[in-house]
């Protein structure tokens, strides 16, 4: 299998629309470069291509690991395994830290939803209470 199989190469194939947001990448580049250095459009586009290729490489390897384990969904552990297999061991610590933070954020989000459900109020009652709070806030603002 060649390196480019499954990639469109600009011929209208399935991956042609896959890219990263140019504005976001440009912002990241400008934040990382010293203020007196700029990045040419061609350079930014090349960086985006490299990032997309890296994502394809990691996801393909993670998919292989997933299939070897007879799983149907790629899990974070498959991504970490792919990074290790491909020689990107130095990335795994940071990826694991980000994963830990993400899991904590998900738990916190679930707690907020649970608090809302435990309030015992219907959606209409909550909206009415919100309107009351807005009205009180407007009244205080008008008095200033």
How many angstroms separate the CA atoms of 43 and 45, rounded? 5
pLDDT 10s digits, 14-60: 556 688 999 999 999 999 999 999 999 999 999 999 999 999 999 99
So what's the pLDDT on residue 15? 54
From the number of C-beta atoms within 10 Å of its C-beta (0-12, 13-18, 19+), residue 139 rates as exposed
So what's the pLDDT on residue 5? 45
How many angstroms separate the CA atoms of 88 and 96, rounded? 13
* Statement: the pTM of the whole predicted model exceeds 0.75: no
Q: Which residues of 90-116 are buried (b: 16+ CB within 10 A; e: fewer)?
A: eeeeeeeeeeeeeeeeeeeeeeeeeee
Domains in the chain: boundaries: 1-87, 91-144
pLDDT 10s digits, 59-95: 999 999 999 999 999 999 999 999 999 999 999 999 9
How many angstroms separate the CA atoms of 29 and 39, rounded? 8
Fold for the domain defined by 1-87: Histone, subunit A (1.10.20)
């Amino acid at each position: 299998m060649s390196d480019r199989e499954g990639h469109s190469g600009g011929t209208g194939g399935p991956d042609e629309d896959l890219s990263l947001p140019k504005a976001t990448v440009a912002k990241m580049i400008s934040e990382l470069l010293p203020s007196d250095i700029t990045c040419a459009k061609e350079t930014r586009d090349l960086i985006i291509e490299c990032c997309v290729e890296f994502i394809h490489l990691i996801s393909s390897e993670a998919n292989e690991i997933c299939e070897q384990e007879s799983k149907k969904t790629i899990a974070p552990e498959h991504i970490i395994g792919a990074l290790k297999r491909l020689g990107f061991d130095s990335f795994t610590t940071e990826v694991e830290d980000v994963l830990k933070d993400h899991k904590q954020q998900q738990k916190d989000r679930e707690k907020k939803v649970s608090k809302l459900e435990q309030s015992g109020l219907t959606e209409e009652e909550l909206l009415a209470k919100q309107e009351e709070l807005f009205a009180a806030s407007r009244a205080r603002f008008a008095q200033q």
